[in-house]
Structure 1
Amino acid sequence: MKKNLLAMLLVVVMGGVMLTGCGTKEADTTKTDGELDKVNLQLKWLPQSQFMGYYVAASKGYYEDEGIDINILPGGSDIIAEQNVSNGAADIGVTWVSSLMTYQAQGYELQEIAQTFQESGLLLVSKKTTGINSAKDLAGKKVSNWFGGNEYEVLALLEKYKLDKTNDLELVQQDYTMDQLQEGTVDVASAMTYNEFGLLLENGISKDNLNVINMNDEGVAMLEDCLFVNSEWASKNEDLVARFLRASIKGWQDACADPEAAGEIVYNLDKSVSLDHQVYMAKEVAKLVTPEGFDSSKIGQIDMDAVKQTGEFLELYNKDLAKTPVVDETTFTSKYLDEATK
């Protein structure tokens, strides 16, 4: 899987096969009459259906309809979206809210402008043979996570059940496969609904043989994928930001309405992972962007109560946090989204 992901990144960066404009990483939004505004969008990770809304919007010409030449930049383990947006290498970025808050607390002038994922996609997964039927059964077990900011929901879950992360169980580093769980070197592994959980199923493990702990069901969920900008840049490009959001929302609406087609669009970028996996991922991502009963016309809306909960958990469990996360119009704003959807 890692080789496939690396191959994907190389093809995207070197071959330029992505559905993007011709811009480079140097942000350039100036234009003359008849030219499109260049916008560099920095993803959090490698091209996959996690970001299908932007690829669908590009494929269907929605950005061009809004006068935008979109350049979708792949992420990776060595690419930090917050830093690229802050220094102007990108104009708009995708990241998790908890990560964004960490950089805001360090003094980065970054501002969320839309919340794409309305629910958390993080699960804790175990084989039924381990007897972990609920979170309280994590006591005495070996639990893996990727860390780097991905562990806060797990820590909140442990706090809920009064389990000490050091004395009551063993937290270990997880790689980007599910081999540790499959081979039995850990009892419980972290998994995103739209990726790693699907890998388990594709590797022949039946859902009937797995126990799952869902962070949303446990009430300890933290917000994940969002769109953010450099506050100063956005204030100078308000109309451009609104146009970008308008096109992106149309892309997300189409993708969530037909995730099979969206998954195929992403797959056709370079075909480095299977079509079935991209379609699986697209269907699961759609559930996070438009949960059951959610009005698709409200894609991107920012639930400030959920933002505050994310900030509270972050402050409680991130000992390196520079200061208390600020949750107000300077850090989270709906004004660009309101303009895009009015």
Structure 2
Amino acid sequence: MKQILSLAAAAMLAAGGALADTAISFSNDWKWEGPSAPLLLALDKGYYADEGLDVTMDTGNGSLEAIPRVASGTYQLGASDINSLIKFRDQNPDLKVTAIFMIYNKPPFAIVGRKSLGVSAPKDLEGRILGAPAPDGAYAQWKAFVKANGIDASKVTIENVGFPVREPMLAQGKVDAITGFSFSSFINLKANGVPEDDISTILMADHGLDLYGNVILVNPEFAARNPEAVKAFLKATVKGFQDTYTDPEAAVKFVMAHNDVAREPVELERLKMAMDQNIFTDEVKANGIGGVDMARLERSIDQIADTYDFTTRPTAAEVFDASFLPDPSERAVP
């Protein structure tokens, strides 16, 4: 009996050691801001290490960047927009990078304007200048937004602007509106001196687009070789989201530890906006953190097809793999 127990203990130690040797590089979609708190909290509180993982996390330069990073295997996991992933999968059928965890159940894609410049509703964009960074996840939804709201796109001047100058240009009146994530552009405009009551946030999800938002992606080869490590990563990530929901004031401090130029009150406001509007929706509170409604995801792919010509339309099951998620009871919102 002692020999059997010893062999079992040795096997457990060996399994733990093998998992501990699993290094994971994670590419975020953007710099470290308030909404990154769940990931950074899980990292710094040792939740990934507790699961036997050696995790490093890097910033990104927009929603589109992480997809090729993960597809190529440079990063094993990353965060990006699922709608951009759907198009990427169609354009690169041999690269099976897959979403495994939903971050933004309600996407923060928005047109952000100024009431003083005449932009308060979708149709107000006609005859005006829209500042839109080419790799911006919100701008990627522009054609679908135009169709859903009956906008004459020929009457809208699109100016390709860089991420760093997007909000300053709107603050200076050089453009009339911009595309962006609602919580980031709103906060950044206030920081550029625009009065809060002059900012109009037109959330695309409230104006005809029933889409999901950012997800965690996994490289398929890595997932096939290390399924338990991927499950362990998501288990730790869920704990980060649960802790953030319970105490956002404490969670945002982990963002501050990774961003020397950030201001805590600003990032806390940004985090709370994302939590309320995008992350902890009624659907998430009912069904658990990280999952999706597959029927809704199918409908969102249909909506993408309204303005995008698929070569081979992917199914929801091909785009999102829920098999790595913890059980729903473990993903409950506290």
Tell me if both proteins adopt one fold, taking TM over 0.5 as the criterion.
yes
Amino acid of the residue matched to residue 193 of structure 2? G
2:79 matched residue in structure 1:
94
Deviation at 1:341, TM superposition (A): 5.7
Match of 2:152 in 1: 164
Q: Which of the residues 101, 111, 114 maps onto 1:114?
A: 101
Q: Which residue of 2 aligns with 1:239?
A: 228
Counterpart selection for 2:114 from 123, 127, 146: 127
Using the size of structure 1 for normalisation, the TM-score is: 0.81
1:43 to 28, 32, 44: 28
The AA in structure 2 aligned to 1:329 is: A
Distance 2:102 2:300 in 1: 13
Is 285-294 or 105-114 further displaced after alignment? 285-294
Q: How does 1:1-342 map to 2 (within 5 A)?
A: 32=17, 35-76=20-61, 80-105=65-90, 106-107=92-93, 108-148=95-135, 149-165=137-153, 167-176=154-163, 177=165, 178-287=167-276, 288-291=278-281, 294-295=284-285, 298-318=288-308, 323-338=311-326
SS for the counterpart of 2:317 is coil
Structure 2 residue identity aligned to 1:301: G
Provide the aligned length of Structure 1 versus Structure 2: 310
8 Å Cα contact 2:71/2:97 also seen in 1:
yes
Q: Secondary structure at the match of 1:329?
A: helix
1:180–1:232 CA distance, 2 compared to 1 (3 A): same
Q: Deviations over 1:98-144 (max 9, x none)?
A: 22112211121111111111111122222222333322222222222
| Distance in 2 of aligned mates of 1:341 and 1:40 | 28
Aligned in 2, Cα 1:309/1:186: closer, same or farther, shift over 3 Å? farther
**Cα RMSD (Å):** 2.6
Per-residue CA shift, 1:138-160, capped at 9, x if unaligned?
22222222233532433222212
Deviation of the 1:315 alpha carbon: 3.2
* TM-score of the aligned structures, taking structure 2 as reference length: 0.83
Higher relative helix content: 2
- Structure 2 Cα separation of the partners of residues 258 and 285 of structure 1: 14
Q: Which has the larger radius of gyration?
A: 2
Partner SS state of residue 159, structure 1: helix
Question: Gaps spanning 5+ residues in structure 1: where?
Answer: 1-29
Using the alignment, how far apart are the partners of 1:79 and 1:297 within structure 2? 28
Contact 1:125 1:190 in 2 (8 A): yes
How far is 1:285 from its partner?
2.3
State the SS of the aligned residue for 1:156.
helix
In the alignment, is the contact (CA less than 8 A) between 2:32 and 2:59 conserved in 1? yes
Change (3 A) 1:58 1:193: same
Deviates more, 1:297-306 or 1:33-42: 33-42
